[in-house]
A and B are shown apart, each in its own frame.
Chain A
Amino acid sequence: MKIGVLVKQVPGSEASLRIQPDQSWIDESTLEFEMNESDSYALEEALQICEKTGEGEVVAISMGPAVRTTKVLREALAKGAHRAIHIVEEMPYEIDPMLVGQIIKNAIAEEQFDLLLSGLQSNDLSQGQTGLLVGEMLGMNTATLIMETEIQDGSIRVKRELEGQWFQWITIPLPAVLTIQSGINQPRYPSLKGIMGAKKKEIKAVSKEDLLEDHSRLQSFGNIYIQKKDKRTEMIEGGSAEIVERLVEVFRNEIKVL
């Protein structure tokens, strides 16, 4: 079984975010990055499926800046992924999910994965679309919020998490794309052999420019700032008619809720 895993590098949950002086983006220079939580569960699931079936290949795929993204890919390789694909993109945050989907689709189309796993959503932008979009673009069957997997002959049986403690078991034919919920398994810590071995494994770097014909971005960041909190109290005095008039004015022109 050939399994692809989309892993994203995101700022650690305890990282302290600082805004760049020109307010164009956050200051990434001192930021601690880590593997997106649900992606690390997806990777573990891929490795376990591979170990259970006794054969196959796990390929880790990530998109991000040249230097820092290799860290997350090395981590995946250390844990047991066989090789990695690095889509080099210096400003991944400026690309909208649709475009991300297209880029990844173009990068992995020829791999012909039997199974493609991604985390449910990334802990930074939390759009939750990448896995699904890639799956749809590649014409693969997709299922989200996966809590358990069971490989069968030519298909996969999965447990989906629904609302209110309800679950659903479905069987979908391969090839398929699954987005994995955190907590599905216990992600491993790489052994030393894994860490050493990872240094020798291949990370194929592809440039985003080679994957797309149209490079125009659909979104860009204008101004990043921390929300300002403002507290003001105004006592309205006068007769009831005056008070109502002032209230309407405040609602309409100042708070703009009317």
Chain B
Amino acid sequence: MLTGWEKLIFLCLVLVSTTGAVLTFRHMFRVIGKGKLPLPWKQLGKNPWKGLNVFFSQRTLFKSRPIIGFIHALVAWGFTLYMVVNLVDALDGLITGFEFLPHHWLGVVYRLFVDIFSVLVLAGVAFFLVRRFVTGDLRLIIENRVLMENATREGIRRDSMIVAIFILFHVGFRLIGSSFAVALAGPDWAQPAATALSKAWCGFTPETLHLGEHIGWWGALGLILAFIPYFPYSKHAHLFMGPINFILAPEKRSPATLPALDFEDDTIEQYGASTIDHLTQKQLLDPFACIMCNRCQDHCPAYATGKQLSPSAIEINKRYYLKKTGSAWLKAKTPPEEKLTTWMLSEEATWSCTTCGLCVELCPVGNEPLVDILNVRQDLVMMESNFPKDAMDTFNKLETYGNPWGLSSQDREKWIEGLEVPLMREKKSADYLYWVGCAGAYDSRGRDITRSMIKILNASGTDYAVLGNEETCTGDSARRIGNEYLFQMLADQNKETFSKYTFRTIITQCPHCLTTLKNDYAELGLELDVIHHSQFIEQLIRDRKITVKQADLESITYHDPCYLGRHNGEYEAPRQVLKSVMTTEASLAEIGRNRNQSFCCGAGGGNMWYEIDRGERINITRFNEAAETGAETVATACNFCLLMMEDAMKVTNREESMRVRDIAELVAERLPD
């Protein structure tokens, strides 16, 4: 189709475009390479399936916003096929007389697909343009209370506009080109849109039609050549970087479990992240994978209740910061000096995170803004000594008394008074070590759960023992707040205690103790077999070790604790336990946001111990959701969740009509005497 000169110009442009793409992609990867902890880049060749799987299945898109996710899947699959279309078009232009299977049924299907698809894409892009720029979808907006430069806010809009216009023109030019071709060759029922459009060219001379066909071809293919080197600068780099992120991401035990820090190594001068050069390669790759969809922000408990934190803003800010400073950083010997808290996320935002892990769970491209937050906390706590005063009190209590309540370590086993509870220091060995935890030992409601557990343990004839006063806090709050040093101190104490006794499995009623003992201690080299009491009780019921009276329980709903669900993948066991206490006809009234999308109670990540004085309270938002189910009993499986829910119940004056119970309490109430 093309003339000789046109072919030459096209090939030259291909060369220019390819060179440009190599340069811009190389720049992007060099910037990522400035991060610490090299990613396993060789995995790209060895195990690409981990990324391709996500790309082709689009499975991560359906976790939230399923309808938009479905449209995205169509776009992604269509785009992949459109790559073939562009290739065919290029051949069509370069090889004189080339036609793609003109008479074969496959060619017919191909033309029909491309024609209809082009119209759908144009309509789709028009829809997205209207959504972003005319009607405005709140989910695409990051409120002004979140730290973000104006240039970045404008940049998001500009980049979205550029990409939309590119697609609009690319596909539009192609459709127009096809319509001229149809006008020249005669109507083609396999290209209804192009045929309809070709009617507009009725009366044009063949020369004009040829010219139109050429313009259409150049417009479509020329834009592709221009766009390829632009990819790393647009958020559409997510097309490659998303899958790459899945291929390279190091395996993690749970979303908030970071690798242990080494305090013995004298050469380490910085713990946590203060400036961009303290971030890892993974943390610099994340912003290039981010498509700024804000799915992480939708259900972020901090953002949703009006705090300064938006997980997506973290990635977007990193992206625009690297855009601004990347070249200089590559050239200069010294890294940019601006503190992360001045441009990435504010200090207040840092403390607003409940480490619930929802942002990580819902991100379609495998980003982990939670890790950035935890790293900044480590810096603020250990390097800067700059954090909420109440958190300092908590640290002092943990240091002096070994529990965040600040009560005497000698009173830890006071709850035992009047109960028959075997002690490890007397028994020395048992099948199960029942880990009571600080809440279970000191808090009055926590003690209710503990007593229920004792009733269940004794009724089931389990061989168990507790540590009593020898137990000390696992260090969950210390670690999540960023005090790794204190966490390791507490862990060392517990490790020493564990080494004195023989046991097979640890049972704990606190999902925070669960994740810390199971996942965080493993990072310190201590692999323990730890189960949650929901799992233990479920097993007892299944093995008929205990019989629970199925009774008259009115309507009941269940709040998934973040650290049991998203952090440890357990959604089913507590529900099975609840089924066993309900009458056969009753069914669990699920809260709208449940299982992996459960909305935090507000206590995680150390937020139990300090207040962020902004926006609404997270526990009230969550309790209202539970109340909307109409259930009278809100069941949960975490000490913190229980306290937060109960507090919200009182604040919202629902004490008369509702109650909050741990699953162990509901079971213990129904054991035969």
A and B, one complex? Answer: yes
- Are B400 and A34 in contact (CB-based, < 8 A)? yes
Query: Which stretch, A95-103, A121-129, A164-172, A192-200, touches the partner chain B?
Result: A192-200
- Are A191 and B382 in contact (CB-based, < 8 A)? yes
8 A Cβ contacts from B391-414 to A: 392, 395-396, 400-401, 406-411
Chain A's closest residue to B401 (CB) is A32
8 A Cβ contacts from A188-226 to B: 188-196
- Are B400 and A32 in contact (CB-based, < 8 A)? yes
Q: How far is the CA of A188 from the CA of B385 in the complex (A)?
A: 7
Q: How far is the CA of A88 from the CA of B406 in the complex (A)?
A: 29
A and B contact pairs by CB, cutoff 8 A, 8 listed:
A12-B400, A14-B406, A32-B409, A189-B385, A189-B395, A191-B383, A193-B383, A194-B385
Contacts of A15 in B (CB 8 A): 401, 408, 410
8 A Cβ contacts from A43-84 to B: none
Given contacts A16-B408, A30-B410, A32-B409, contact A192 B382 (CB under 8 A): yes
Residues 179-195 of chain A, each 1 if its beta carbon lies under 8 Å from chain B, else 0: 00000001011111111
Judged by a CB distance under 8 angstroms, whether A159 is at the interface is no
Q: How far is the CA of A12 from the CA of B485 in the complex (A)?
A: 22
Judged by a CB distance under 8 angstroms, whether B543 is at the interface is no
Judged by a CB distance under 8 angstroms, whether B173 is at the interface is no
- Are A12 and B385 in contact (CB-based, < 8 A)? no
- Are A14 and B401 in contact (CB-based, < 8 A)? yes
Judged by a CB distance under 8 angstroms, whether A18 is at the interface is yes
Q: How far is the CA of A192 from the CA of B263 in the complex (A)?
A: 9
Q: Could you list 6 further interchain pairs (A-B, Cβ under 8 angstroms) beyond the known A12-B408, A14-B408, A196-B263?
A: A32-B401, A32-B408, A34-B396, A186-B389, A191-B383, A195-B485
Q: How far is the CA of A194 from the CA of B485 in the complex (A)?
A: 12
Judged by a CB distance under 8 angstroms, whether B320 is at the interface is no
Residues 199-228 of chain B, each 1 if its beta carbon lies under 8 Å from chain A, else 0: 000000000000000000000000000000
Chain B's closest residue to A191 (CB) is B385
Q: How far is the CA of A15 from the CA of B408 in the complex (A)?
A: 5
- Are B411 and A16 in contact (CB-based, < 8 A)? yes
Judged by a CB distance under 8 angstroms, whether B426 is at the interface is no
- Residue from the set B271, B385, B389 with the largest chain A CB neighbour count within 10 Å: B385
8 A Cβ contacts from B264-313 to A: 271
Main SS of chain A's interface residues? loop
Interface residues of chain A, those whose CB is within 8 Å of chain B, are: 12, 14-16, 18, 30, 32-34, 186, 188-196
Q: How far is the CA of A191 from the CA of B381 in the complex (A)?
A: 7
Main SS of chain B's interface residues? helix
Judged by a CB distance under 8 angstroms, whether B337 is at the interface is no
Q: Which range contains the number of B residues in contact with the other chain?
A: 20 to 34
- Residue from the set B382, B389, B392 with the largest chain A CB neighbour count within 10 Å: B382
- Are B409 and A30 in contact (CB-based, < 8 A)? yes
Contacts of B395 in A (CB 8 A): 189
Judged by a CB distance under 8 angstroms, whether B613 is at the interface is no
A45, chain B: closest CB distance, angstroms: 17
Given contacts A192-B485, A195-B485, A196-B263, contact A14 B385 (CB under 8 A): no
Contacts of A12 in B (CB 8 A): 400-401, 408
Q: How far is the CA of A14 from the CA of B387 in the complex (A)?
A: 24
Q: How far is the CA of A195 from the CA of B263 in the complex (A)?
A: 11
Contacts of A34 in B (CB 8 A): 396, 400
Contacts of A186 in B (CB 8 A): 389
Q: How far is the CA of A186 from the CA of B389 in the complex (A)?
A: 9
Judged by a CB distance under 8 angstroms, whether B420 is at the interface is no
Chain B's closest residue to A194 (CB) is B385
B558, chain A: closest CB distance, angstroms: 35
Contacts of A33 in B (CB 8 A): 400
Contacts of B401 in A (CB 8 A): 12, 14-15, 32
- Are B389 and A192 in contact (CB-based, < 8 A)? no
A188, chain B: closest CB distance, angstroms: 6
Contacts of A14 in B (CB 8 A): 401, 406-408
B54, chain A: closest CB distance, angstroms: 38
Q: How far is the CA of A144 from the CA of B392 in the complex (A)?
A: 28
Q: How far is the CA of A196 from the CA of B384 in the complex (A)?
A: 14
Q: How far is the CA of A156 from the CA of B272 in the complex (A)?
A: 40
Contacts of B384 in A (CB 8 A): 191
Contacts of B396 in A (CB 8 A): 34, 189
A160, chain B: closest CB distance, angstroms: 26
A143, chain B: closest CB distance, angstroms: 28
Which of A16, A192, A196 is B410 in contact with, Cβ under 8 Å? Answer: A16
Q: How far is the CA of A16 from the CA of B408 in the complex (A)?
A: 6
Q: How far is the CA of A191 from the CA of B392 in the complex (A)?
A: 12
Chain B's closest residue to A75 (CB) is B399
B484, chain A: closest CB distance, angstroms: 8
A153, chain B: closest CB distance, angstroms: 31
B598, chain A: closest CB distance, angstroms: 33
- Are A18 and B410 in contact (CB-based, < 8 A)? yes
Q: How far is the CA of A81 from the CA of B332 in the complex (A)?
A: 38
Contacts of B383 in A (CB 8 A): 191-193
Contacts of B263 in A (CB 8 A): 192, 196
Given contacts A12-B400, A15-B408, A32-B400, contact A189 B392 (CB under 8 A): yes
Chain B's closest residue to A13 (CB) is B406
Residues 643-664 of chain B, each 1 if its beta carbon lies under 8 Å from chain A, else 0: 0000000000000000000000
A87, chain B: closest CB distance, angstroms: 23
Q: How far is the CA of A33 from the CA of B400 in the complex (A)?
A: 7
Residues 343-359 of chain B, each 1 if its beta carbon lies under 8 Å from chain A, else 0: 00000000000000000
B597, chain A: closest CB distance, angstroms: 36
Chain A's closest residue to B272 (CB) is A192
